[in-house]
Structure 1
Amino acid sequence: MDSRNLPRDSLTHLPTVAGTIDSVRKDVQARGELVVLYFNFDRYAKIEDIYGWEKLDALLETTATAMRAFVKESKLALSQLMVANPHDDDFVLFHIPAKDVSAASEEDITELTFRLQERITRDVEAGHGESVAALAETYVGRSHVYYNPKIRLERQIYRAMREAAAASKSLEAREIAIKLSDLRDTLRARSIYIDYHPIISADTGKVFGYEALARGIMRSMRSPEVMFDIASQSDLIWELSRLCRSKAVEGMKDHLSEGQLLFMNVDPHDFTDPAFTEAELGASDPSKVVIEITERTAIKDYPKFRERLKAFRDMGYRFAVDDAGSGYAGLGSIANL
C-alpha cells in the first residue's frame, strides 16, 4: 500500500486511520481480509499526569520513530502503521497479507510484541531515562477482518479496531493481576531493598547525603514506577510507602557517616495515612532525615498539609521539594510550602 500522499499527524508524522482507509480499500477487497493490530500504551497517561503534555508529546515522537523502524525491519514491512487520531497515543497497524501468504497468527503477534517492546524500551530509555522507559509497556490486540461486500468497509475496520483494543485491554488486565499478586507477596515478605544513591556537593566534591531509592526484589517489581503504579491502582499505596520508609530508615546506620543526610521521597498522599507520623519514621536522629515532597499528586488542602509538616519539623525533620518544576512541583507549590 502506498502511503506517501496520505495526510499525516503533525506530531508523530504517521497517517491517521480515517485518512488511510481509502488507500487500502482496493487491496482489502482484492485480498478479502485484513488484520488490525491495536497498540495499547495505557501507562503513557501516567507520564502526562506526572510530567505534563509536552513530555508525552516528545515520548510519542520517540515511540512512533521506534515503531516505524521496527515494522520496516519485520515480517510486516508492507503493513501500514498509523495513529488512531491526530496527536493520539493509540497506534494502529493494518496488515493485508500478500497473495498465497497466511495472515499474521497469534504466535506471530506474540513474538512481534516481545521484540517491539524491547526496541521501544531501548529507544525511550536512551531518550527519556529509565524511569519513563519503565512505563512504556506495550499491549497488542489483534482482530481479523474478512471482507464482506454487504457491509461498508469503514464500519468493518472500526469494529475490528474496537475488538483489537478490547483484546489489548484484556492482556493488560491479566498482566496487572499478575503484578498485583507479586506486589502482595512483596509486602508480605518485606522483599524490597534500598539503593542509597550518593548526593555530591558541587562545592567540595564530597558526599553530603544519600537518596533512598526503593526497588522490589522480584523481577516484576524492580521498577519503582511500576511498583507504585500497581500499588496506587490496588489501594495498597500506604502499605508500600510504609515499607519503603521503614527500610530506608533501617539502613541509615550502615550507610550514613557523621554529618551526612538521608533524603527520602514522600508523596503528599502519604500524609493522609494515619499511620504516617513522626514516631512511625523512628529515626534516631530526625535532623539527619530530609523528607522530599515528590508532588506527583496534587496537594488539595495546603493549610492542613502545612500543619502536618510543622509536626515533623518540630521533631527535627527537614523538608525539600523533589524534581522542582516537574509534575505539581511548580513555583506556586514551593512558595505555599
Structure 2
Amino acid sequence: MPLLHDPKITPEERALAQAHSDFLRLKRLLYDNISKLPSLPVVVDNLKKALESYKHIGVISLSIQTVALVELQYGWQAYDNLIIEIAQQLNELIGNVIQGEVVLAMEYARSDEFLIFCLSQPDEKSVTLEYMEHVSERLFKALNDHLGQYPVDSIYRKVGLNGGFAIITNNRVVRAERLIYHGLNEAKRMAALYESRRHTKQIETLRSIIAERQIATTFQPIIYMADLRIMAYEALSVSPKEAGFPNTEVLFSIAQEAGLGLKLDRLCRENAITNASKMADHYKLFVNVEPSAIDDPEFRQAQFVEFMQSHGIEPSKVVLEITERTAIKDYDIFLKSLKYFQDLGFEIAVDDAGAGYASLNSIAYLRPKFLKFDHALVQNIHKTPIKQQLLETLIDFADKIGAHVIAEGIESIEEFEMLREMNVEFGQGYYIARPDFTFPDVREELVNHMNGSQPKKP
C-alpha cells in the first residue's frame, strides 16, 4: 500500500490508503487480537435479529478472577496465552456443552471478559432460564476441568473463573441495544452475588477443613542439577479435592481474609513434620512458613521442637521456606524472630526471590541459605535471553551473600539443560518429579536423558 504522504501517489490511491488505514484502526478497536473474538458492538446486530426471531436470548458473562496479581507474577505473555486457551476451549465447547445457535464475543477489545450469547436451544426453540442454568453449570465445569489438567504451579491453576447468566427478552418499547446491555449487567450482578456466596461457602469449608485436620501433605524432590542426586524434599499442602480450592494460593488467600491464616499455617506445618517422619535421614525438609507465623507463640515455643524430635526430625534437617503470600511489615522485628530459629539450627530459604516483598535489598538483610526462583523466571528461559541475563545477575547476587540457588517450576528438558548450562546448583519441578504422598524419585525419562549425555564439568 503506498504511503499516505508520498507525493507521487494519486488522490484516488491516497484515499484508498486512508480508507485501509482507517479500517485497520477500527478493526483493532472492535476485534480482540488476542482471543481473535469480536467485541460486543460487532455482534449487536446479530443479537437484535435473534431477539426478533426467538423473543428470548440468553447471555453468560465469564470473567477471569486473578489471584495475587498473577499477570504481574507470570508476565503479560503468559496471561495472554491464558486468554487464548479459554477462547479456544469455548469454541470447542460449542456443539458439545453449548448447543443451539451461539455467538461468542469479548465485552471489548483486550478485555478478559468473555460473553456467550445463546440465541436458541438445539431444537430452535427460545432459550429458557432453566436451559441457561444447565448450560452455565456444564460450561464452567468443563472449563475448570480443562484448566485443572495443567501443572499446579502454572498460571492456568492460579486463576479462577467467575460468571453469571441472564435472559434477555424482546420488548418493542425499549431499544434492542439497551435490552442487550441491561441483560449483560444483570448477568454481571448475578456473577457478583454468586461470587459473594461462593466466598462465604469457601470460608465455611475452610473452617471445617482446619477443625477436622483435612489437609494432606505431598512431597516434591529438590535435586542437584549436576548429577540428579536428591538434596531435599519440599512439603506441599493439599486440601481435599471435593473442597473446591484450585490451589494452595487460593486456600491461604481466603484463610488470610478470614483471619484463619495462622491456624492453617500451624496445621500444614504439623502435618508436614508428621508425614516427613518416614523420610530418609540424609535429606533436608523444606517447610513453607508465612512471615506472620514467625511470631506465632505456638511455633516459637519449645514444644514445637520437641514435637519435631518426637518424629525423628532435628531442626538442622529443616529449611523454613518464607513464602511471599503476605508482606513483611517490620524487618527489624522479623529478623530478631528469624534469628531465634536460626540459633536453634533451622536454615532459611526465600521463595520467589526478586519478586513481591522479596526485593534483593530485603534478601540481603535476611541472609538465607537458599534462594528459590520460580516458574515466572524459569519458563522458556532457553529461548528468552533477557531471563538468562536476569538469572545470571541473581546467581551472582546469591554467591555474594553465600546462598544456594534453587530453580523451581522446571517443566521441560530445554529449561533443565539451560539451567544446568548456567550452573544453577539445585532444581525442582514437574519435569524432575511430580509431588506425591510418598517420596518420589527423579523421573525415569530424565535419568535416561542424563545417562545418555556427557557429564557436566564442575
On whether the aligned pair clears a TM of 0.5, the verdict is: yes
Summarize the Cα distance change of 1:69–1:231 in structure 2 as closer, same or farther, 3 Å threshold.
same
1:121–1:136 CA contact under 8 A, matched in 2: no
Distance in 2 between the 1:162 and 1:45 partners? 26
1:41 to 2:41 alignment: no
DSSP 3-state at the match of 1:168: helix
Q: Is 1:211 aligned to 2:240, yes or no?
A: no
Letter in 1 for 2:47: V
Pick aligned residue for 2:218 from 182, 195, 198: 195
Q: Match of 2:151, as an amino acid? A: G
Q: 1:325 to 1:228 in 2, by over 3 A?
A: same
8 Å CA contact 1:182–1:221 kept in 2: the answer is: no
Residue 238 (structure 1) aligns with: 262
C-alpha change, 1:14 and 1:267, in structure 2 (3 Å) is farther
2:164 aligned residue (141, 152, 169): 141
Distance in 2 (CA, whole Å) between partners of 1:87 and 1:273 is 44
The question of whether the paired residues in 1 share the 8 Å contact of 2:216 and 2:237 is answered with: yes
Are 1:91 and 2:107 counterparts?
A: no
| Residues 294-326 of structure 1: per-residue CA shift (max 9 Å, x gap) | 213333433443333223222221111224455
Match of 1:67 in 2: 90
Of residues 153-162 and 28-37 in structure 1, the stretch that sits farther from structure 2 once superposed is: 28-37
Give 1:250's match in structure 2, choosing from 248, 253, 274.
274
State yes or no: 1:287 paired with 2:316.
Answer: yes
The C-alpha deviation readout for 1:38-61, integer Å capped at 9, x for no partner, is: 124335565336545443332222
Q: 1:238 to 1:264 in 2, by over 3 A?
A: same
CA distances 1:241-265 after superposition (whole Å, capped 9, x unpaired): 111112212333322x233211011
Which residue, 338, 342, 350 being the options, matches 1:321? Answer: 350
CA contact (8 A) 2:48 2:177 kept: no
Q: How many residues align?
A: 331
Q: Secondary structure at the match of 1:246?
A: helix
1:123-160 alpha-carbon deviations (Å, 9 max, x no partner)? 4345x523444455444422111122332333222221
* Secondary structure of 1:63 counterpart: helix
Alignment partner of 1:130 is 2:152 = yes
| SS of alignment partner, residue 42 of structure 1 | strand
Which of the two has higher C-alpha Rg?
Answer: 2
Map 1:263-302 to 2 at 5 A. Answer: 263-271=286-294, 273=296, 275-277=298-300, 279=302, 281-282=304-305, 283-284=308-309, 285-302=314-331
Does residue 185 of the first structure (1) align with residue 205 of the second (2)? no
Match of 1:187, SS state, is helix
Most deviating of 188-197 and 50-59: 50-59
Bigger relative contact order, structure 1 or 2 (CA pairs below 8 A, ≥6 apart): 1
Percent identity reads 31
| 1:25 has 2:48 as partner | yes
Deviation (angstroms), 1:88: 2.1
* Deviating more after overlay: 257-266 vs 21-30: 21-30
Equivalent residue letter for 2:322:
I
Deviation at 1:231, TM superposition (A): 1.6
Is the 1:47–1:55 Cα contact (8 Å) retained in structure 2? no
Equivalents in 2 of 1:15, 1:280: separation in Å?
61
Q: Which runs of 5+ in 1 are unaligned?
A: none
Partner of 2:248: 224
Counterpart residue identity of residue 297, structure 1:
T
Gaps of 5+ in 2: 1-26, 367-458
Select 1:16's aligned residue among 30, 39, 42: 39
The one-letter code sitting in structure 2 at the alignment partner of 1:235 is G
2:103 is the counterpart of 1:80: yes
The 5 Å alignment of 1:95-114 reads 95-97=118-120, 101-114=124-137
Change in CA separation of 1:19 and 1:271 when aligned onto 2, cut-off 3 Å: farther
Contact 2:285 2:319 in 1 (8 A): yes
